[in-house]
Chain A
């Protein structure tokens, strides 16, 4: 097929602009990585742009992992991510599966209960008071339990379960399986893709945990990664030019940013497809 001039121009323009958009998404990260592995003296004298570092050093990283609160915070973050995601998944599946069974008496009541919290909440202060009354303040659980179920994810899971053919359940019941067994041995294995999607939404949420930590945690040894890194980043925002050696260098700050984003960036390409699918699933019928 012969392509018209307009077609060719259009194709070229599309490729060019998309290329720029892609670059705009990665370039800032590449720059941050470059700064983090360039010796600080080099950063200062270069007067700018270091996309490909001329000399390497990992001293910022070694300093970060030996002298700062980062290792401890890293451990806290890993803990709340792993344990939190497990709790999230179990609770969400247990909640979504009954809600997907159309004959369940009271189904619309429970659904309303879930959806209403997406519309209205008691607000920051009353929630804090409840969490405090439960004795969760200053414990890792305060970063896990108050957000143990996300309504949006319940709805995603529910619409997935609804798409499973009814005959499947009937034949399982015919074979004498009880409901818990059906959920565990039939439904869960079938729903691995959407469990993965929802699980990853939860995982990213926990890894990026910040809000609950600043609300409920004052004990520094329990601060997750994001809170510690924000502290590190805030330090040069105050005009304290002459205290150079006391403050973390820009190299170190950027190393901390890379440390916190690396796990997500590494996992991300493998799961991107699932995320997209899950997002669409949720948006089609909320």
Chain B
């Protein structure tokens, strides 16, 4: 332990010093580090932990004039929660949030794995590098830009796809404004955005597979497909499971930015999730207490899911922390 201490002048423990004094000396010897921590800690206290305290307005009848402290307590205390649970929005929002999340989970898991497999099997190095560079790129584009691209392809009046449909004699479809297609657009655009990026972690896992396994398989006469099936896929199994579990922990976050940017009033029915609803009801219609209550409800479920999924992943020997 001694070698990690900051001050090199710190003496070895003197037997007569009391424990508190010893700790005091240790803390003092680290004073520069605490000074470094100060700005960051202040940031966390103000912008992360104060809002956690501010969540008490979910149990109050909040008014801007009285502030968080001065607003009267709600009567009964669960007033805003019950109001939400009994409202017709509750089931719609839960269904949308969960469905969109689950769709993304189900349809979004396999493509990056396939992508990683293909990249891993690619023997032409420069080609591999180019494809990697190209497919990582959409990850860094904002959802607004992707919305622009979606309009170029799918808008009813001028989108490329609709012009093709019309040329073939069909009638145009409002992909972005129709309840039938909106979720597919959400899921599809997310897959497009993160296909290459999602492959990175699987590629890394593949790189760490023992190459002697492949050599042995080759000696035994195994073909490339057999090696993928019997060596590569089992080799990344734990990573696949780990990522699945982690995503499960975030199932209440269906993707605020993406949905808020892409949706419109025609598709609220299928696209509105807890977060977007809290944003509209809480901030835009100034129902602060109701919004905070729904936000708290969501955060709590999220916390339980994340902790639970981490517990699960630890069982597989892959704990995150």
Chain A residues at the B interface, C-beta cutoff of 8 Å: 4, 6-7, 10-11, 14-15, 17-19, 21-22, 24-26, 28-29, 31-32, 35, 43, 47-49, 90-92, 94-95, 97-99, 101-106, 110, 113-115, 117, 119-131, 133-134, 145-149, 154, 166, 170, 173-174, 178-180, 183, 204, 207-208, 210-211, 214-215, 226-227, 229-230, 233-234, 236-237, 239, 241, 250, 253-254, 256-257, 260-261, 264-265, 268-269, 272, 275-276, 279-280, 283, 286
Contacts and interface: CB of A to CB of B under 8 A. Distances in A.
* Most chain A CB atoms below 10 A, which of B26, B144, B201, B264: B144
A133 B8 CA distance: 45
B283 A98 contact: no
B134 A25 contact: yes
B138 to A, nearest CB: 6
B88 interface: no
Contacts of B196: 21, 25
Interface stretch (B51-59, B90-98, B101-109, B229-237): B51-59
A264 B195 CA distance: 18
11 contacts: A6-B225, A14-B122, A28-B192, A32-B152, A91-B43, A95-B36, A106-B27, A124-B278, A208-B142, A229-B148, A236-B157
B247 interface: no
B118 A126 contact: no
B23 A261 contact: no
B42 to A, nearest CB: 9
Given A95-B40, A268-B137, A129 B57 contact: yes
B94 to A, nearest CB: 17
Nearest to B133: A272
A7 B122 CA distance: 11
Contact of A126 (B153, B292, B303): B292
Contact of A233 (B26, B123, B134, B144): B144
B285 to A, nearest CB: 12
Given A25-B134, A129-B288, A261-B141, A6 B224 contact: yes
A123 B157 contact: no
Contact of A10 (B47, B121, B145): B121
A211 B278 contact: no
**Pairs A-B, 9 closest by C-beta atoms:** A123-B295, A122-B51, A126-B54, A95-B40, A257-B148, A208-B142, A179-B32, A103-B4, A98-B33
B103 to A, nearest CB: 20
B131 A22 contact: yes
Given A14-B118, A103-B1, A233-B151, A4 B131 contact: no
Nearest to B111: A21
B118 A211 contact: no
Interface in B17-43: 23, 26-27, 30, 32-34, 36-37, 39-41, 43
Contacts, number: 304
Nearest to B130: A22
Interface of B: 1, 3-8, 23, 26-27, 30, 32-34, 36-37, 39-41, 43-44, 46-55, 57, 67-68, 115, 118-119, 121-124, 127-128, 130-138, 140-145, 147-149, 151-153, 155, 157-158, 160, 163-164, 167, 176-177, 192, 195-197, 200-201, 204, 223-225, 256-257, 260-261, 264, 275, 278-279, 282-283, 288, 291-292, 295-296, 298-300, 302-303, 306-307, 320-321
Contacts of A283: 201, 204
Contacts of A178: 32
Contacts of A147: 47
B30 A104 contact: yes
B189 to A, nearest CB: 10
Contacts of B122: 14-15, 18
B1 A119 contact: no
If over half of B's interface residues share one DSSP class (helix, strand or loop), that class is named, otherwise mixed; here it is helix
A18 B47 contact: no
B148 A124 contact: no
A286 B320 contact: yes
A283 B195 CA distance: 17
A257 B140 CA distance: 14
Contacts of A26: 134, 137
B34 A233 contact: no
Contacts of A211: 256-257, 260
A200 B126 CA distance: 25
B264 to A, nearest CB: 6
B200 A25 contact: no
Given A25-B138, A113-B41, A125 B153 contact: no
Nearest to B261: A230
B56 to A, nearest CB: 8
A230 B51 contact: no
Contacts of B300: 120
B143 A210 contact: yes
A265 B177 CA distance: 29
Nearest to A211: B257
B292 A125 contact: yes
A254 B147 CA distance: 11
Contact of B145 (A4, A43, A114, A257): A257
B54 A230 contact: no
B155 A260 contact: no
A24 B291 CA distance: 40
Contact of A98 (B34, B144, B149): B34
Given A35-B152, A174-B8, A233-B144, 18 more contacts: A19-B131, A25-B134, A103-B26, A115-B321, A121-B52, A124-B291, A125-B278, A133-B67, A170-B8, A179-B36, A226-B142, A234-B264, A236-B158, A237-B177, A261-B145, A265-B137, A272-B136, A279-B201
